Amino acid sequence: MTPRWVVIAKVVVWAACLAPFGWLAVRVNFLPELLGANPVEEILDTCGKTALNLLMLTLAVTPIRRSTGINRLLSFRRLLGLFAFFYVVLHFSSYALLDLGLQWGTLLVDITERPYITVGFTALVLLVPLAATSTHALQRRLGRNWVKLHRLVYVVAVLGVVHYWWQVKSKADVGDPLFYAVVLALLFGARLLHYRSVHAKAAVPPANQRVEPPQAHEKPGH
């Protein structure tokens, strides 16, 4: 049986993940003046930043689970990841529909010739197979391959931060993307530490005994 705290936490996480979308929908439909002079920019910013926040949180689940030993946290990873995908799709479709007014030619030129858009679009494309294989059934069926495939999320996170960084107008104004870059570096750092400690435990022969190191028994976690 699912513990009570997990049920409550799931409800809270769902509400928190839907809140930015809900607030956007309320403003678009009922309080347009709160969106300011450039509503499309506000919509794009909200969806883009929420997607990045959720990507970082998704990547934070595993290190937090390892350090706290609360394995139940794993069941939140998929939820957060799928909401990140939701906001990435919303971000892109707002760009194509609301910003460009579905000018397909411009969209194509943007994707192929504007590096920050190329990078952002690549992140979206790479997220599609991850979202498509996120069910428990497919996770079991794909086994090791599922783990390998889902390592793409690291690439997506890096591309997301680069996408944000490359559109800053003044070089001195990289504060916000820098914040995400630092968070991402910390998340990578936590994984590196874990990987090294696992290897150290698995294979540290005394220096005076020349033996072949054993094959890695434990695979680095996701």
Give the interface with other proteins as residue ranges (CB under 8 A). Answer: 28, 32-33, 35-41, 97-103, 106, 109-110, 114-116, 166-167, 169-173
* Contact (Cβ atoms closer than 8 angstroms) between residue 160 and residue 56: no
* Contact (Cβ atoms closer than 8 angstroms) between residue 17 and residue 46: no
* Contact (Cβ atoms closer than 8 angstroms) between residue 117 and residue 160: no
Say which amino acid occupies 89: V
- Shortest reach from residue 56's CB to other proteins, in Å: 22
**Angle subtended by helix axes 74-93 and 115-132, to nearest 10:** 140
Closer CB to other proteins, residue 63 or residue 110?
Answer: 110
Closer CB to other proteins, residue 6 or residue 35?
Answer: 35
End-to-end CA distance of the chain: 26
Nearest to 164 by CA among 75, 55, 82, 78: 55
- Sign of the torsion formed by the C-alpha atoms of 68, 74, 142 and 192: negative
- Shortest reach from residue 37's CB to other proteins, in Å: 4
Closer CB to other proteins, residue 32 or residue 189?
Answer: 32
Instruction: From residue 100, give the alpha-carbon distance in Å to each of 93, 96, 103, 105.
Output: 10, 5, 6, 10
Closer CB to other proteins, residue 65 or residue 114?
Answer: 114
- Shortest reach from residue 165's CB to other proteins, in Å: 12
Closer CB to other proteins, residue 122 or residue 167?
Answer: 167
- Shortest reach from residue 86's CB to other proteins, in Å: 18
- Shortest reach from residue 107's CB to other proteins, in Å: 11
Closer CB to other proteins, residue 81 or residue 110?
Answer: 110
- Shortest reach from residue 179's CB to other proteins, in Å: 15
